[in-house]
Amino acid sequence: MHDVISDLEFQVRSDPYNPAHHIALAKAYLEEGDEERARKIVAIKRRLPSKDPSIHYEWGQLCEELGMARQALESYEQALALDPANPDYHFRVAFLYYEKGGWERTLKHLQKTVSLAPENTRAQNLLGSLYEEMGFGGLAKILKGKDDRKVEMPSSVIPSGPTVKDLALFLDLFKGREFGYAKFFPGTAGSLFLQFVKGVLGGKEIMEHLRGENALGVYPLRSNQTLKLCAIHIRIPWRRLVANIRNSGFLAISEDQVQQYARKIAVKAGESGLSAYIENQGDRERKVWFFFEEFIPFELSQRLLDALLDKVPAPGMDLSVIPLLGYRAAGIGHEDYPIMLPLGTNPRTGNRSYFTDDEGIPFDDQLLFLNKIRAISRNGIMAVLKAGTREAAFLSHHPLKELKHLQEQCPVLDEIVRKAGSGRNLRHEEKLVLYFVLGFLSDGAELLHHVLEPCPDYRPKKVARVILRLGHHPVSCPKIRHLLPEVTAYLRCECSFDLIPGEYPSPLLHVFQRITMNEGESTKVKAQR
């Protein structure tokens, strides 16, 4: 070994600017056990200029062996700058960032390693472990060759199994582009990609989506730049998520913030007369969905979401809030982009996505819940856009003030409204009282939907049909006692009204000054403020 070192020292003196000679000499010192001399060479000579990436890579290996992690990372990154397609360089950089907790760059270089060298099982396992810690179990299983995704539909999602009617409703709600849809799938590096599928989205494809065989997406924008649905996407920013991979407490708090902000949007939408529905995507992200009665211009939908977000206070922490309108920025322009459909399996996590209530609890039967979704009318959109001032917003809430006043004055009506609000079904007679009282208010249709929506058997289309057939006679107090004797027996139902000839007692007199029947017109009631 001494002769070898002597020869290498001679080569260094003969060609002092050749880094290969210095590397060979440092390795020889290490083999002899002279770590101090090897370290001195590496510390001084690794900065010799070279355009050969393998030279910088060897310097990096020597630094690692000597415990010089920072210097090793510098050398590996120099090698990577000269040869960015070398998977070995990416892996060494990823590994050093992993050891120092630089999760974002670790992920970046591990993904690049796996995409360039799929046979690198060490990189796959390390990347899979990181995805597991991030909650992306679906990606982790695929990376580790354990993709055991089940195709059975969980009974908690669809207890009775989807019928032809269920599939038709699903397709009607999530109607988008006339031709073509998207399929989401994990790539070789664990990233999520999408593929445009030529064809029409039908019942067969929806069944595959519900079974978890394929994760499908719909392109909301039609060729005439109109859409029938949109959403607001709330998530933890990627950098914040990656930076806290091993901080489960922080991530749990962040997910709760995501849920609470989605709830604020849904509540504010409800106060504005809009129906909004929260979806847990099977990860730490949420979507708030909006459905329209007809295809509306893209610009109108964009204005609606902007106006709604302007009314919601900023989140208490750094969250990413993105309106989903069927397009995204691409270069100097935009391109159509799909929205992943709910109730399927999230390719990232391998978990099922669900619609939830405001507290984040999934509804028992998801397909049955779809029947309760109420689409937003164009008039409803315009009302929100016009309510730009505080005064206008206050006036838009006036119907709820009327309802509250009626509940305060009529204990029977209050009992029915509270029963509906608790999520129980109403009896036929109780519904009759609601329809023939609230239905005669100026905003009775909206109030009826508001009161009945928590009921399990609520169907917006059915409620709308009943409202159209109400006629002209509000219900009278004696009729209420006849319909609900068991309720009026224990509740005070003895209001006293100052009636004039032609009038009859009704809870509506707590809101209206007069309810009179015109002479000779037995089917017409005239109500005056």
Residue (of 269, 288, 292, 270) closest to 279 by Cα position = 288
Q: Check pLDDT > 50 for residue 519.
A: no
254: Cβ–Cβ under 8 A, 6 or more apart, which residues? 236, 240, 241, 244, 284, 317, 319
Residue 513 is predicted with a pLDDT of 65
- pLDDT tens-digit readout, 11-54: 878 888 888 888 888 888 888 888 888 888 888 888 888 899 99
Instruction: Considering only CA atoms, give the Rg of the chain.
Output: 33
Pairing of strands 192-197, 327-330: unpaired
Q: Average pLDDT of 411-439?
A: 90
420: Cβ–Cβ under 8 A, 6 or more apart, which residues? 426, 434, 451, 452, 454, 455
Q: Check pLDDT > 90 for residue 288.
A: yes
Backbone angles phi, psi at 198, to 5 degrees: -80, 120
Angle between helices 428-438 and 398-409 (to 10 degrees): 120
164-379: CATH, from 2.60.40, 3.90.920, 1.10.10, 3.90.1200: 3.90.920
- pLDDT tens-digit readout, 337-396: 999 999 999 888 888 899 999 888 998 888 889 998 999 988 888 888 876 533 344 444
Q: Is 439 helix (H, G, I), strand (E, B) or coil?
A: coil
8 A C-beta contact, residue 67 and residue 31: no
- pLDDT tens-digit readout, 108-130: 999 899 889 988 888 888 888 88
Give dist(CA 248, CA 252) in Å, integer. Answer: 6
H helix and E strand count, the chain: 24, 13
Q: Check pLDDT > 90 for residue 227.
A: yes
pTM of the full structure: 0.74
Specify the higher pLDDT residue, 315 or 226. Answer: 226
Which two structure tokens, joined as six digits, stand for 274? 């809009």
8 A C-beta contact, residue 283 and residue 351: yes
Domain limits, the chain: 2-143, 164-379, 397-528
8 A C-beta contact, residue 110 and residue 126: yes
- Using the Cα atoms of residue 45, residue 46, residue 50 and residue 53 in order, give the sign of their dihedral: positive
Q: Average pLDDT of 236-259?
A: 86
Give dist(CA 425, CA 408) in Å, integer. Answer: 22
- pLDDT tens-digit readout, 178-196: 999 999 987 766 667 889 9
2-143: CATH, from 1.25.40.10, 2.20.25.90, 3.40.109.10, 3.40.50.920: 1.25.40.10
Specify the higher pLDDT residue, 498 or 264. Answer: 264
